[in-house]
Amino acid sequence: MSFLVRIGIIARNGSIAALAEIISRLRYNIPMIPLRDENPTRRFPFVNYGLIALNVLVFFWQVSLGPYGEIALYRMALIPLNVTSGLDLGDARAVFTSMFMHAGLAHLLGNMLYLWIFGDNVEDALGHARYLFFYLAGGAAASLTHVFLYPASQIPTVGASGAIAATLGAYLILYPHRRVVTLIPFGFFIQVARIPAFFVLGMWFLLQLFEGTVSLGMAELGGVAFWAHIGGFVFGALLGPRLRLRERPVVYWEDWGRW
């Protein structure tokens, strides 16, 4: 039975056996890479675009520091032990500065891809000011989840993925049936499929939960902060729908150029 057929089984029937196989294949063989969603927005997402631009600018600033970049990393990244040994203004600031720093180009591009695809619709649902508050609060919730589970860690934590995970959680609840155009590589072959958001984002969350559970009780050696992703996602799923604006008739901003 093909991988895409098993995706269809999950979408229709929720087969546990198919779900287990897909998690295994996603973990070891076949990543699912979202390309875009089929979900037009009604308001121009200038906050989301601004967040993307700020992340990119901070990354170029990090690169420009050269050998001094590591010093900046330790000053601006979140280090759990610093928080648990006595929170001060610098540690509180690091909760927010860390979510605009990235460990490398691949880290940045992966995060910005998800923010580009899913963030604009969450901003559309929440409104500009609420979305900015939600994004920052989600990043803080993700960071504090990581600190709670690894209180003695001295490894710097950076990245927008916690805040973006909150955005994904909100999107899952707000737009579960919207289709996401997804790239699925099969060795030398590439399949592009239109998959419901609840499946794409639900599978992403299950993979984080699986990896996070496996990592519990193990010495933290760096890498992906899975529990920050989990904490951010749950925060977003719970808070995002509560911040949704009342519906009112507005023109889709993409249609402005057609007038």
pLDDT digits (tens, 9 = 90+) for 192-247: 999 999 999 999 999 999 888 887 766 565 567 899 999 999 999 999 999 998 76
pLDDT tens string 126-177: 999 999 999 999 999 999 999 999 998 888 999 999 999 999 999 999 999 9
Q: Give the integer Cα–Cα distance in Å for 163 and 142.
A: 7
What is the reported pTM? 0.83
Helix (H), strand (E) at residue 30? none
Pairwise CA distance, residues 13 & 188, whole Å: 30
CATH of domain 31-258: 1.20.1540.10
Q: 188: helix, coil or strand?
A: coil
Query: Other C-beta atoms within 10 Å of 193: how many?
Result: 16
What is the C-alpha to C-alpha distance for residues 130 and 224, in angstroms, rounded to an integer?
Answer: 28
What integer pLDDT is reported at residue 62 of this predicted model? 93
Lookup: tokens for 188: 């030398």
Side chain identity at residue 39, one-letter code: N
Q: Which residue has the tokens 């992403």?
A: 204
* Cα gap 217→221, rounded to integer Å: 12
Mean pLDDT of 34-50: 95
